[in-house]
Structure 1
Amino acid sequence: MTFNELTLWLFSTLPFYTLTLTIILALLLDKYLGEARQYHYLVGFGWLAQQIEKHLNTFQTDKKSDETQPLRFNIKKALLGSLAWVILVLPIALLYFLYLNHLTWYWQILLDAIVLYLAIGLNSLHQHAMQVYQPLKENNLVQARHFTGYLVSRETAELTPTEMSRATVESMLENGHDSVIASIVYFIIGGAPLVIIHRFANTLDAMWGYRTLQFNSFGFASARLDDLLGFISAKICTLLYAIQGKFLTALANAYKQGNTYKSHNGGWVMAAGATVMNKKLGGTAQYNGKRVESVTLGCGENIAVEDIPKSILIVKRAAIILTLIVLLWQTISFIAFTH
């Protein structure tokens, strides 16, 4: 085959594999470039969200009565929160769909891969996990507690090595869905515009999706819409975790345990991931001075320090399996089209 013939063959074949090529390129960019250290777009997005929230959320707090005030749902605040969500989430995705979603296939792959790379955080997850794992291996509990605080909202000042390991594994399995698998799934379903919508919606849920006096009403739409957007991808992520071992048991635990967990989507993926690892998650944790009991997720032994890198491996394998499924699907489509 001559060079010209090879070039012609590539340009006639590769357009059938745009999804696969985009996902692979995005994962490679994430692996070798990692997360932006400066001028990260989510920092700017978060700042903008704070400014809008200050103007639209008329929350007033009285420190003396803050903890004793009952949570009441305010329709006006909920509508304003919904408006803020629309203002922040939809415009960029809509502009991308209208003006940047119809390029020549190779430019489309490059642009979409950059958007997907900016949305996924597999490299970042690995780094955050190692920031806890390495100090724990060296018995540096002060540093390990410090970096555990980057991952979870629970109080970390008195966490034991086992509790820090549990918190880190829970974070890896749940965020493996939120920041890796969900982004790839929604790229497959709706391309880069849907990836943008999911990433921004997930960020707003992390900022506003709390049952507090400040956000119970204003953050209602953010919390519910994030649950809705994550529903399909969480079930796919559960399958991708479960397929790595104890498939039926992992699915059964995801259904039984995940449905009783405080976060439906998070419960499903954590229960499946923990079952594959033959480990148990959940238990007690301290939040704002209050002891909270979480349901058991998974089955088997208690979490140990060495399970931290194993949890990251579960997420990496899930991303690879999903990419291979897309490759197989596009290959079958290519063969069917050419024959």
Structure 2
Amino acid sequence: MFDLFEFNLSMLSAFAVTLTLVLALFLDAQLGEAKKYHYLVFFGRLSAALEEKLNPNFSTYPSNDRILKRSKFSQFIGLIAWLLLVLPVPMIYYFYFSNFSVVIQIIVDAIMLYLALGLRSLKEHGMQVYQPLLQNNLEAARHYTGYLVSRETSTLTPKALSRATVESILENGHDSVIASLTYYLIGGIPLVIVHRLANTLDAMWGYKSARYVSFGYASARLDDLLGFFSGKVCTVLYAIQGQVLLALKNAFQQGGQYKSHNGGWVMAAGATVMHRTIGGCAQYHGQTLQGTLMGCGQAVDIEDIPKSIKLVQRASSLFVFFVVSYQLWVYIF
């Protein structure tokens, strides 16, 4: 009996990562995102309050040299703010929540990983746009598209709304799903927390507006760095679902020209697999910007919204499949 218990415990330890991934995805599928008291809401308020204190407006300084110095100083302050907001929680988790027994550790890690995932939420937000579009309710579709993108949505056509939604789903498939799974595999929950909080700060501060171009510089660059490897993992997981070589080629050529390197790669690969073209003109804060065209084939339409959701879902399933296959190989041989 003792030998059998020892064998089971050994097997449990060997497949702890797999069990954690499966349990976290199961919790996400069953529970979804918290409707109230979401931790990122609290984090966002804390971040906004800190930024308000540390990011005063330096544009009133008349000397170009002084403005430049203040800009460098603002970049440094932005980095300090990033460190203060991002590092404490993963450090606390590493020192106080990483030494449980195998069973407890799997449960605790799975709950934390679930909190970082947004697969069900991504589907729900996408369908909030899809259903009104089917009913030709443009007002509701524009309203819910505004939850997904920062571009102006008040005048978007059904095709433009579909494009914006598909782009967001493909990019957030990396940010809120594949990246968290990848970094759990590499560095456990502490690295998952670092990426999730850094990605949130990039969404808040990573703009080239007068307010954030300096203060948000470190946030934008660090998010690019943290998402670089996981972005390539996500690109491959999208690409192997069809037209592998063309999807990887477009990710390299088209995605590299996009404003966000990591986002460009995953969107170009995803659009290519779907035989669709995304990107192009979009309005941000009253300005029309010409974006990179990515993918191949016809422009996206309404029915491509659920197809993009399935692409992300299959990518997460493939990730787990490869992890299980590797752990089985190691365990058996």
Classify the TM-score, shorter chain: over 0.9
> What is the deviation of 1:335?
1.2
Question: Are 2:278 and 2:295, in contact at CA under 8 Å, matched by a contact in 1?
Answer: yes
CA distance in 1, matches of 2:7, 2:241: 36
Q: Secondary structure at 1:37's aligned position in 2?
A: coil
The CA deviation at 1:95 is: 1.1
Q: 1:135 is matched with which residue?
A: 132
Q: Is the 8 A contact 1:71 1:212 kept in 2?
A: no
Give me the whole-angstrom Cα distance separating, in 2, the residues matched to 1:43 and 1:302: 35
Residue correspondence of structure 1 range 1-339 to structure 2 within 5 A: 9-59=7-57, 74-336=71-333
1:9 Cα deviation after fit:
4.1
- Quote the Cα distance in structure 1 between the aligned partners of 2:137 and 2:297: 27
Question: Take 2:70 and 2:191, find their aligned partners in 1: how far apart are those partners?
Answer: 30
Specify the code of the residue in structure 2 equivalent to 1:132: V
- Find the residue that maps to 1:202 and give its secondary structure: helix
1:59: Cα distance to partner?
Answer: 2.0
SS at match of 2:242: coil
What is the percentage of aligned positions where both structures have the same residue? Answer: 56
Provide the secondary structure at the position in 2 that maps to 1:74: helix
* Whole-angstrom distance in 1 between the partners of 2:37 and 2:68: 37
Q: Is the CA contact 2:79–2:219 (under 8 Å) kept in the aligned structure 1?
A: yes
Counterpart CA distance in 1 for 2:199 and 2:146 is 20
Distance 1:57 1:246 in 2: 46
Greater CA drift, 90-99 or 227-236: 90-99
Letter in 1 for 2:33: E
Between the aligned partners of 2:303 and 2:205, the Cα distance in structure 1 is 34
The Cα shift of 1:11 comes to 2.3
Give yes or no for contact 2:58–2:70 (8 Å, CA) kept in 1.
no
Aligned counterparts of 2:34 and 2:223: Cα–Cα separation in 1 = 24
- Partners of 2:256 and 2:155 lie apart in 1 by 30
CA distance in 2, matches of 1:159, 1:14: 52
Whether the 8 Å CA contact 1:73–1:217 is kept in 2: the answer is no
| Distance apart, 1:302 and its partner CA | 1.2
> For the residues of structure 2 that align with 1:198 and 1:97, how far apart are their CA atoms?
15
SS of the residue aligned with 1:292?
strand
Q: What amino acid sits opposite 1:144 in the alignment?
A: A
- Partners of 2:142 and 2:153 within 8 A in 1: yes
Secondary structure of 1:266's counterpart equals helix
- 1:220 maps to a residue whose letter is Y
AA matched with 1:318: A
Query: C-alpha distance in 2, partners of 1:312/1:300?
Result: 19
TM superposition shift of 1:50: 1.1
Q: Please provide the CA RMSD for this pair.
A: 1.7
Quote the offset at 1:10 in angstroms: 2.8
2:54–2:77 CA contact under 8 A, matched in 1: yes
